[in-house]
Structure 1
Amino acid sequence: MRIPDEQRGPHRGEAHAGSVASRLNWLRAAVLGANDGIISTAGLVVGVAAATTDAGAIATAGIAGLTAGAVSMALGEYVSVSSQRDTERALIAKERDELSSLPDEELTELVGLLEARGLSSGTALLVADELTRSDALGAHLTFELGIDQEHLANPWAAAGSSAAAFAVGAVLPLVAILLPPAAVRIPVAFVAVIVALALTGLLSAHLGGAAKGVAVVRLLVGGALAMAVTFAIGHLLGVAVG
């Protein structure tokens, strides 16, 4: 009896959909990392620019903030994804052991998982039997745990992409505050940051399927508030020192 493709478990179309979803998740993470870089660096350089007109001091603070932020993002992402990968590997090893020591129980479990997806008992048994003979571990990882052992999380890739995204975002406010004349540095940087946040907010909302207006307003309010607070602090410190 030939089992219809839709009853065979993951197939080429589902694998492609999973790949697309994975790429969208990475892109969404990159956009969020860039947002962090924009907001944190903008707040830093605006605060320093409010305290002094010395371009060297502003550049030093901005570059230091960019470097520290990128390293922090990379380290945090590396630790987080490494923990995720370790967990996935432990689950794979556990499932492999169970398949070796309890094959009948695992087959029954797979039948139950397939039935839960809408297959009849007879069809579920046929599908489970074929999947077990073909790739028992892969079937259980997919239907029971939602893990693809061929595409486990990569902590180095996650760390690198997070650091790069943060750095790209941080460059914009740094350039925007250093290139204009001292008299208009802060207004130019403020406008540039607001525009950048609006664009990244639209993109992140589109990728996440969220309401664009809410996402953009949230980012704009947060970014404007961060720059306003650091500007006030920098201005007060500059006046006090002066």
Structure 2
Amino acid sequence: MNEEPAQDTTQNAAQGTERGTGHDEPHRNGLGARLNWLRAAVLGANDGIVSTAGLVVGVAGATDSRSALLTAGLAGLLAGSMSMAAGEYVSVSTQRDSQKAALATEKRELRDEPQAELEELAGLLEEKGLRPDLAREAAEQLTERDALRAHAEVELGIDPDDLTDPWHAAGASFLAFTVGALLPLLAIVLPPAPARLHVTVLSVLVALAMTGWGSARLGAAPVAVAVWRNMAGGALAMAVTYAAGALLGAAGA
């Protein structure tokens, strides 16, 4: 008497597996990619804030010259943003090359050994919790629909239509770092000389609290811990660079 509901359940599972590979349904991998991009943007802005704040506060410890602070801040902003963009481009290009190579290998295996690949796909689906008979049926349906996509998503964790773009990654990193770096740069050069340091430190700590909150929410981590850890790291960076700048300034360097 209990066989029919079990059959209905497994049939629904097979249909859900097939729908998960369709073009019209949202992909979990796509959502994860979007969250990773957003997290990278938050972390890039955080790097821009901390590195530029440490630089300009360190210079402020040695001199109160607005032109010196502006020059140092701009140099740090451009060097940091270009470095971030170049590093992200190289990293994502390598990742994209690896993804394309894996897809090419999978395509060749599907052409040369289709039966072995079908068995492999059925085994992978069985490992995900499907019954052997249902895993076999689902593998056959997915292979008939789009074999390469099925293996790419189930076996490799790759969406063939959504490979990482190194230019987008480089541009996003450049923009995120620049936006973050502008805050301490403007905070150190715009206020009157007596208030520069205080305004900069306060602005940076508030900004770091915001990026800490954002990174915690994206990562589903405790917010308070992330915020205070972020602020403490930024405060330590500014304290160290200010002390170094003050020592150099006192030494007449």
> What is the percentage of aligned positions where both structures have the same residue?
56
Q: What corresponds to 2:205 in structure 1?
A: 194
Match of 2:217 among 188, 206, 212: 206
What is the correspondence of 1:154-169 to structure 2 with a 5 Å cutoff? 154-169=165-180
Instruction: Name stretches of at least 5 consecutive residues in structure 1 with no aligned partner.
Output: none
Q: What corresponds to 1:6 in structure 2?
A: 16
State the one-letter code of the partner of 2:18: R
> CA–CA distance in 2 between the matches of 1:85 and 1:183?
50
Distance 1:184 1:63, change over 3 A: same
Does 2:156 match 1:131?
Answer: no
Look up the SS of the partner of 1:8 in the other structure: helix
| TM-score, reference length from structure 2 | 0.91
Q: What corresponds to 1:239 in structure 2?
A: 250
CA RMSD of aligned residues (A): 1.7
Deviations 1:52-86 (A, max 9, x none): 11100100000000000000000110111011000
> CA–CA distance in 1 between the matches of 2:211 and 2:30?
23
Deviations 1:118-171 (A, max 9, x none): 222222211111111111111011111110010001000000000100000000
| TM-score, reference length from structure 1 | 0.95
Runs of 4+ off more than 6 Å? none
Does 2:187 match 1:176?
Answer: yes
> CA–CA distance in 1 between the matches of 2:28 and 2:159?
13
Deviation at 1:7, TM superposition (A): 3.5
Q: What corresponds to 1:80 in structure 2?
A: 91
> CA–CA distance in 2 between the matches of 1:7 and 1:72?
42
Q: What corresponds to 2:4 in structure 1?
A: none
Match of 1:31 among 35, 42, 45: 42
Q: What corresponds to 2:3 in structure 1?
A: none
What is the correspondence of 1:111-130 to structure 2 with a 5 Å cutoff? 111-130=122-141
Look up the SS of the partner of 1:93 in the other structure: helix
Aligned residues: 242
> CA–CA distance in 2 between the matches of 1:52 and 1:29?
34
209-218 or 57-66, larger mean C-alpha shift: 209-218
Does 2:169 match 1:149?
Answer: no
